[in-house]
Chain A
Amino acid sequence: MLSLRSAAFAAAAAAILATPACSTPAVSPAGSPAAPSTAPASDGVFTLYAGRGEDLIAPLIADFEATTGIEVEVRYAGSTELSALLLEEGSATPADVFLSQDAGALGAVSKTGAFAPLPAGITDLVPAGFTSADGSWVGVTGRARVIVYDGDQLQADDVPESVRGLTDPQWKGRVGIAPTNASFQSFVTAMRLLEGEDATREWLEGMVANDVKIYGKNSAILDAANTGEIQLGLINHYYWYQLSNEVGIDNMRAQLSFPAAGDPGSIVNVTGAGLLAGAARDADALAFIEYLVSIDGQRYFVENTYEYPLVSGVNAPAGLPPLADLTNAKLDLGDLDSLAETTALLAEVGLL
């Protein structure tokens, strides 16, 4: 027993002693009088924290690596895990770039001052409202909010044109939402801005009273509509395209309906990327963010993930209404960061 235990300790101790030797960072000694160079430097490799699915962005990363010769070390995890991880790591993070599937997580990290400001050459490519107001992160793609419906039990005409219709008693117990999902919360924020706090609270209470079904994420709502467990659900548009790509478009029972223009249910959310403060002068990390908003990078998203491009000169996926039609003139997407009020409201009505 004792020998086994001491062997385990010895192994751990050996590893502790051995590891620093191979991971000593290549920095100049402390107290060096030379001012650090302001020019970005490249060492041919950087670390990416990816809050998006590997199957979706691994080919994009491979394209980037082939084009630039820069190696990307990717850490995939859910946005919950990655934002919690980045907040916990603080300035000690090994990450150089954070690629997130929602603006909320980018905003939460940005609020702690963990991002380095991006060059105007990058942030100016994306129109205001689809990117950060202060240039701390850049929008990469857009995702429209849609109503998914069970195509076996409903016709397209049966689906309400506005999310307001979902509180109608005929949909009691037949609608699915994901209150913990960032895209859903952005939609609720939009409703607060467009229609006011009272109307939004009334709508949320109406949904609760109508026995709305609570799911953890968009894909679970899509699955539920695809099996007829629910008849209507609020999701992002591209989940449907991904699933139809997986199972074949003819096998899709669930169908999509875009709410009428101007409806809070039709807003567009963005995904984005930020440069961590420790990588402020990392040319490789910066090159990757540039690639995300390049014509090639944007085209990749259009063709493979069916999301809206945010850079001019690249067309939206076929079959989708133009992004301009979904943009609500009365709504500045830059105002969608009042997340705290939204989550407080959701908690108040018992959805969080």
Chain B
Amino acid sequence: MTLTRTDSGGEASLAPRVRVPAIRGRTLIAASAVIAALLAAIPLAYLVVRVAEADRSAVVDAMWRPRTLELLLNTSGLVLSVSATCLVIGVATAWVLTRTDLRGRGVWLVVSTLPLAIPSYVAAFGWIATTPLRGFWGAWLVLTFCNIPLVTLPTIAALRQAHPGAEDVARTMGRGPLAAFMAATWPQIRPAAIAGTLLVALYVLSDFGAVALMRFQAFTWAIHTAYGALFDRTLAAVLSVVLALMGILLVMLERRARGARAKLGSAVQARTPAVLVRLRRRSWLAHAGLAAVASLSLGVPLAALGRFLTGRAESAFTVSAGDLAADVWNTVAFAGGGALIALALAMPIGILSARHRSRLSEATESASYLGLALPGIVVGLALVFFSLTVVPSLYQSAIILAFAYGVLFLPKAVGAVRSSIEQVEPGLEEVARTLGSSPADVWRRVTVRMAWPGIGAGVLLVALTAMKELPATLLLRPTGVDTLATSLWRYTEASAYGAAAPYAAMLIVVAAVPAILLTREATGGAHRGPQEHPGRVSP
């Protein structure tokens, strides 16, 4: 990509003339961001309606049950322990894969990313089928090893952008490798690593499948019990509001921990690639560590699945290739639609957040995170309520289901849009402007084009997560239509594990496609680095 074709932008324009559209553009983005945030806040609005409708004393009773505190402690403990483990293992993995001379780094990158394709309920099922592990540690293990890539991938991308010179300087000043990393490199990758950890934390907060299988009584367990066993929608709504507040707290903590990205040096200056650490005889240690993580995240679930695929040939239920193919198509279509809706909602929120930081941008960004903090059944019911009230003709249509995916997994797209656009140096845009491009042209030809791979990664991540979603899909899908996840659910519900296994395997295969594309994006950053970097374009 070069900036030499700016002549199509027409005659050189004077600064005062282009100022007006710039302001108008900002207003348009702010207005779009507010609309997107309002749409993302539908689940919270629904919960507020439900709680407000309920008898005051019922709400107070639901809130102050001794059980609520116990559930709060259970869920907090799980969120903190899983997030901390994912942060440490994720950053260590990213460092080994980008800053060392380890052989087979490309293969290890794919292996470290593939756990994203395994739904946490499938992984939990695999662990239950093969080990006696249950309860807190079972839930911790499954949720940790499914979610590490959410930290690894953004950290790898950040490490590739990070300026390595400072760490070299720190080493020359006599710091040890870890101390030098913490002093020079960590501040540069911290925002990416912490943002990934937030996604992990919110996922753990809202997960029901894995904690239910591991028999760990988290908040989501109590919410499902309130709906299914007590038929008490007030209790469910009160508990969900508490969960949403915990989610907002996490978002605020992340914002504080993220801080500003330390900019050491400039992207415009010529970059020296990082000098790879020579592992020499320590390389077996890195291989062993990566292999251990892979066997816990992929090995156990896939081995259990393999046993069910091959071991139950006498099963009474048969799976037809046609049904499987129809499910694959539905899964991809709904998830793809959800990813596009997430993108449409995320663009204004992410741009506002990256370029026009204000209280408004913080509010819209926080609102976008709400969906991920709530269990799928709550977001699903919120959209049942919303679509029946506002667009009854779209009720139980593919559009509402895709919209639910968009709202549920919006943070993954918002984070990608924000960080990708943040990384485009405003200086480059100014250069393009002085060369005569209109603001819209600059956005289209410089900012979006440079940020696009990162934004695309966010879209892939949304699609990937939506494919595995179950509770909201059960509520909102068109009547009579199945996805891989719902078919998998139907057969496991009937204890027909032999028949369920092909659906689980196919779901993992389909979800592996975006997962592998994500690794290409993470490493692609290097190719877009010095070679294509616009900094090399001479004025």
Please give the residue numbers on chain A whose beta carbons come within 8 Å of chain B beta carbons, in ascending order. 1-2, 4-5, 8-9, 12, 15-16, 19-20, 23, 47, 53-56, 73-81, 83-85, 87-89, 92, 94, 104-105, 108, 179-182, 185, 213-216, 219-220, 222-223, 227, 229, 239, 242-243, 245-248, 343, 347, 350, 352
Contact = CB atoms under 8 A, between A and B. Distances in A.
A55 B395 contact: no
B495 A242 contact: yes
B225 A53 contact: no
Contacts of A104: 229, 231
Given A12-B399, A73-B479, A55 B230 contact: no
A309 to B, nearest CB: 21
B227 A80 contact: yes
Contacts of B381: 84-85, 88
Interface of B: 32, 65, 67, 128-129, 132, 212-213, 215, 217, 224-225, 227-231, 233, 236, 312, 314-317, 340-341, 343-344, 347-348, 377, 380-381, 384-385, 388, 391-397, 399, 440, 443-444, 448, 471, 474-475, 479-480, 486, 489-491, 493-499
A83 B227 contact: yes
A182 B227 CA distance: 12
Given A83-B227, A89-B384, 16 more contacts: A15-B394, A16-B393, A47-B479, A53-B494, A55-B317, A74-B480, A81-B380, A81-B474, A81-B475, A85-B381, A94-B395, A242-B495, A347-B67, A352-B67, A352-B225, A352-B229
B343 A216 contact: no
A23 B491 CA distance: 32
Contacts of B213: 216, 220
Q: Which residue among A89, A220, A248, A352 has the maximum number of chain B CB atoms within 10 Å of its CB?
A: A352
**Interface secondary structure of B, over-half rule:** helix
Q: Which residue among A54, A215, A216, A222 has the maximum number of chain B CB atoms within 10 Å of its CB?
A: A216
B378 to A, nearest CB: 10
A347 B494 CA distance: 28
B50 to A, nearest CB: 9
Nearest to B402: A12
A1 B348 CA distance: 10
Contact of A15 (B231, B315, B385, B399): B399
B479 A74 contact: yes
Contacts of A77: 474-475
A92 B474 contact: no
Given A1-B443, A53-B494, A180-B225, A92 B312 contact: no
Contacts of B395: 92, 94
Contacts of B475: 77, 81, 84-85
A88 B344 CA distance: 28
A88 B480 contact: no
Contacts of A23: 393
Nearest to A228: B132
B340 A242 contact: no
Contacts of A75: 479-480
A181 B65 CA distance: 21
B273 to A, nearest CB: 31
A16 B393 CA distance: 8
B377 A73 contact: no
19 contacts: A1-B443, A5-B347, A19-B393, A53-B490, A73-B479, A74-B480, A77-B475, A78-B489, A80-B228, A83-B228, A105-B231, A180-B225, A182-B229, A219-B493, A239-B495, A242-B494, A247-B498, A343-B230, A347-B65
Nearest to B132: A229
B53 to A, nearest CB: 12
